[in-house]
Amino acid sequence: MTRMLDTFRALADPTRLRIVALLRAMELSVGELAQVLGQSQPRVSRHVKILADAGLADRRKEGSWVFLTLGDDARVAPLLAAMDAWAAGEPGDHWAIADIARLAAVRADRAAAAEGYFAAHADEWDAIRSLHVAESAVEDAIRRLLGRDAIGRLVDIGTGTGRMIELVGGTATSALGVDRSPEMLRMARAKLAEAGLDKAELRQGDMYALPLASGSADTVILHQVLHYAHQPASAIAEAARLLADGGRLLIVDFDRHEKEELRTRDAHVRLGFDDEQMAGWFAAAGLDVEAVERLDGGELTVKLWLGRRRPADAREDIAA
C-alpha cells in the first residue's frame, strides 16, 4: 500500500506528469527539462526528487550536469500503459503539444554543440584517419562479424560520439554507451537523436569499473579505446564481466606499430596490439577467440578481435 501511495502522490502534479512524458521521449538534463518546462532549475529539481524518491525517475551525475531517465521498467511500464489508456479518449493536451515543440529546440541545441565540437577537433581526427584504412571498411567488417548472431543487449565502452550504437544499435534489444567524458556523452546524445536512437542510454563511467551488473550484456564493443588503456588486461576483464554466457566482446584497434609520435600528439598509451597478446588477455577473462580480421591501411593496420564468453562450468574447469 505504501509503495502505491508514494507512486500516485508523485504523479499527482501536472509538472511531474509532463516530466514523465518528456523522459519517455529522451534522456534529459535538469537544465534541459527546465528549458522545456519554462521553469527554474531549483523548482524542476524538487519535482525530479519526488519522482526519483518514488522510483519513477533515475538521476545520474556527469561532471557538473545531472541527467535523468525513467525509473525501472517493471515499476514504470504499468503506469505508462494506464496513462496512455486514459489519454486515448481525451482531446489533445496543449501542454504536451508545446513540450514536444520545445523538445525539438533542445535537440537542435545539442546538434549545434556537436557540430561545433567536431569542427574544432576535426584536424586531430583527420590526421589519425589518414594513417589507416577507410572507416567505412572498418564499419563493414564490424557489421559482418557482429551480424553472425543477434546483437541482444549492447554495451559500447568508450562510446565517444556514439557511432557504434548508431551503426549496430538499431537491431539491438537495448543499447547503452559508457564514456568518461561528459562532453563526449553530450555529443553522443546529439548524434543519436539525429539517428532516431533517443532511447539508447548513455552513462558516465570508467572502463575499469563499469556501473553495470555482471551478465547484463550480450554484445560488448571496445572500438578504438584500448590503445588509451594503461591496463588493457583489466579493461578486457571488466568488459568480459558484463557478458552473459555465450556473449561476445568485439575489440577494434590498431595492430602493433612503431608510430611513437602518437603517444605525445594523441595521448596513445599503447602502440597497438598483437594477436598473441590479445589471445592471452581473452583467455584470462574467460573468452575464446572466435575471429580475427586484419584491415591493412597506410602506416597503421586495424585489427578486429571477436571473443565469446565461455559457459560458467567451462570457465571453472579451466581454472581447476
Q: Tell me the whole-structure pTM to 2 decimals.
A: 0.70
In contact, 11 and 56? CB cutoff 8 Å: yes
Give the pLDDT confidence score for residue 196 in this predicted structure.
87
Tens of pLDDT, residue by residue over 116-143, are 655 666 566 556 656 678 888 999 999 9
**Element housing 75 (H / E):** helix 73-87
In contact, 201 and 216? CB cutoff 8 Å: no
List Cβ neighbours of 34 (8 Å cut-off, separation of 6 or more). 40, 41, 43, 44
Angle at 19 between CA 61 and CA 199, to 5 degrees: 65
DSSP 169: G
What backbone torsions phi and psi does residue 28 show, to the nearest 5 degrees? -135, 150
DSSP SS3 for 244:
strand
Mean pLDDT of the chain: 86
Other CB atoms within a 10 A radius of the CB of residue 35 amount to 18
pLDDT over 90 (residue 229): no
Range 275-282, long-range pairs (CB < 8 A, 24+ positions):
275/303, 275/305, 278/251, 278/303, 278/305, 281/232, 281/233, 281/236, 281/237, 282/236, 282/240, 282/249, 282/307
Confidence band of 316 (pLDDT split at 50, 70, 90): low
Residue 278 CA, chain-centre distance (Å), reads 24
DSSP 22: H
Give the pLDDT confidence score for residue 279 in this predicted structure.
96
Tens of pLDDT, residue by residue over 52-108, are 999 999 887 756 677 788 888 888 888 888 888 887 766 667 777 888 888 888 877
**Who wins on pLDDT, 103 or 44?**
44
Give the pLDDT confidence score for residue 245 in this predicted structure.
96
